[in-house]
Amino acid sequence: MPDALRAATDSLARSSDTARLDAELLMAHALGLSRGDMLMRQRDLGVPSDFAALIARRAAGEPVAHIIGTRDFWTITLAVTPDTLIPRPDSETLIEAAVDYFGAQGPQTVLDLGTGSGALLLAALAQWPQARGLGIDASAGALLVARGNAARLDLDARAEFRAGDWATGVEGVFDLLLINPPYIGVDEPLSGDVLREPASALFAGADGLDDYRRIAPDLPRLIAPGGMAAIEIGHRQGDSVGALVAAQGLNVAIRCDLAGLDRCVIATRT
Ligand SMILES: C[S@@+](CC[C@H](N)C(=O)[O-])C[C@H]1O[C@@H](n2cnc3c(N)ncnc32)[C@H](O)[C@@H]1O
């Protein structure tokens, strides 16, 4: 089996930046094991018959998360489909920011705008057992996936998912807002897995800022006193999104991801 993993890694290296990890995840999936168990037992295990077919799908450009149907995010595992963005490690920056801000006590109420698979809301509810939350998305397909994830994670009693256009019609205030809107400019060149993801989760006008412009005016009425909003940004958007949010009379700070790139605008009330 180590030889099969090596050969699969070599064949994926031409098309994937994460060839070794891809091969390991697909091998673990074919064996019905966690990646950790597969790696520990690899010398004793045979190569499953469908492994080559899985590697061929990956080599043809299908994302690993679509092949195996799941993606790990923060402390949870989420189902994902072509209707949802595949949750990114970069987006965990928003949860880290909330953990730093609220500590163990956590928020009571959470609003996730553009919830997709439910990744951000469900990660927050898994983190803080007393919290309840609302996830909004314009995509009916994504909402189906999010509701399924909430049920599988046994978080559905505390999570509501609703179809909507950003915060239109959302009433009340929330301790924590988690917002990861589309932020890619329509002419930006893209390659790799992202080409298999829904355009409605990715693109936001010529400069990638259209959805921030729509969301920002609602922030002051949605953030509870003492609360905060964590808004994901592209790494060159800190100044422009920060200015949009500051123009609403909110305090603004920028938080970086693990690569040291601007990744999140933090908004709090003055
Ligand atoms: C970048 S994805 C984020 C998904 C998820 N929150 C995550 O971090 O993995 C953006 C999401 O916003 C949703 N969206 C796009 N336009 C929207 C709108 N006008 N109102 C609500 N959601 C919208 C998309 O369907 C997509 O699920």
Tens digits of residue pLDDT in 59-73: 999 999 999 999 999
pLDDT-based confidence at 186, cuts 50/70/90?
A: confident
181 is in an annotated binding site: yes
- Residue 174 pLDDT greater than 90, yes or no: yes
For ligand 1, whether the C-beta of 135 sits within 6 Å is no
Mean pLDDT value of segment 237-245: 98
pLDDT of residue 36: 94
Kindly report the average pLDDT of the chain as a whole number: 96
Taking alpha carbons only, the member of 185, 200, 242 closest to residue 219 is 242
pLDDT-based confidence at 41, cuts 50/70/90?
A: very high
For ligand 1, whether the C-beta of 93 sits within 6 Å is no
Q: Among 74, 85, 113, 162, say which to mutate for ligand 1: greatest number of ligand atoms within 8 Å of CB.
A: 85
pLDDT-based confidence at 132, cuts 50/70/90?
A: very high
- Residue 268 pLDDT greater than 80, yes or no: yes
- Residue 16 pLDDT greater than 80, yes or no: yes
Q: Among 86, 139, 237, say which to mutate for ligand 1: greatest number of ligand atoms within 8 Å of CB.
A: 139
Percent of the chain with pLDDT over 90: 93
- The alpha carbon of 209 and the centre of ligand 1 are apart by a number of angstroms equal to 14
pLDDT of residue 122: 98
pLDDT-based confidence at 101, cuts 50/70/90?
A: very high
pLDDT-based confidence at 154, cuts 50/70/90?
A: very high
How far is the C-alpha of 8 from the C-alpha of 51, rounded, in Å? Answer: 9
For ligand 1, whether the C-beta of 137 sits within 6 Å is yes
Number of neighbouring beta carbons within 10 Å of residue 157: 10
pLDDT of residue 189: 86
The C-alpha angle with vertex 145 and arms to 212 and 90, in degrees rounded to 5, equals 45
Q: Specify the residue with its C-alpha closest to ligand 1, atom 13.
A: 114
Percent of the chain with pLDDT over 70: 100
Mean pLDDT value of segment 253-268: 97
- Residue 1 pLDDT greater than 80, yes or no: no
pLDDT-based confidence at 190, cuts 50/70/90?
A: confident
- Residue 92 pLDDT greater than 90, yes or no: yes
Q: Specify the residue with its C-alpha closest to ligand 1, atom 6.
A: 115
pLDDT-based confidence at 191, cuts 50/70/90?
A: confident
